[in-house]
A and B are shown apart, each in its own frame.
Chain A
Amino acid sequence: QQQVKQSPQSLIVQKGGISIINCAYENTAFDYFPWYQQFPGKGPALLIAIRPDVSEKKEGRFTISFNKSAKQFSLHIMDSQPGDSATYFCAASRRAGNNRKLIWGLGTSLAVNP
């Protein structure tokens, strides 16, 4: 059972276009929603994250939109560049005892054509 559903599995965008990756969750106990970026040959790295008390967070060309009532959140990459080509993972975090549990989406492979 996939607790965090991510789509699409792969995405091809032209340089300068907007890349949009969507995620949905069920468990309302999640209270932190990060996006990780992974380049080939590297481990994932935190890109941007949002709490459910805000509807949008922007960092440079990257924006998270969050819809609490729909239990959905999405990553928008504006003015997509070839250097953005990577795998993107959404995730959702909740408390688990004294620590936090991170539930991952399955990932989206983004290719930005020059």
Chain B
Amino acid sequence: DVKVTQSSRYLVKRTGEKVFLECVQDMDHENMFWYRQDPGLGLRLIYFSYDVKMKEKGDIPEGYSVSREKKERFSLILESASTNQTSMYLCASNTGGSSYEQYFGPGTRLTVT
């Protein structure tokens, strides 16, 4: 079974803090993705990575950065957290190329106060 794990299920941070969300997959997948999920807005792609050290902006990259130093690990960084970044963050991965299916982690519920 594919397993995508996220470092925290719940996280509470203060405005202005630097926040790291970690994601690890155990299936040697090429692609990894970060989404945020908000009620009524569906899933919005923040960034994705198709190889180690390679990344591309998604639909809403502003205020976020990412890091992929190892194939299995993809980090989402909020340089200076703001209250409008309070959300559910979902990590996903897939084998890349013509692969259709994305495998999701359980999500991290981030609250910025």
Contact = CB atoms under 8 A, between A and B. Distances in A.
Nearest to A49: B100
Contact of B102 (A6, A41, A42, A102): A102
Interface string B1-31: 0001000000000000000000000000001
A42 to B, nearest CB: 6
Interface of A: 6, 9, 32, 34, 41-46, 49, 89, 93, 95, 98-100, 102, 104-107
A25 B4 CA distance: 30
B23 to A, nearest CB: 11
A105 B101 contact: no
B104 interface: yes
A100 B98 contact: yes
B100 A106 contact: no
Contact of A98 (B41, B44, B50, B92): B50
Contacts of A93: 100
A106 B37 CA distance: 10
Contact of B99 (A9, A100, A105, A106): A100
22 contacts: A6-B42, A32-B100, A42-B104, A42-B106, A42-B107, A43-B91, A43-B92, A44-B43, A44-B104, A45-B103, A46-B102, A49-B100, A49-B101, A89-B42, A99-B31, A99-B96, A100-B98, A100-B99, A104-B42, A104-B44, A105-B42, A106-B40
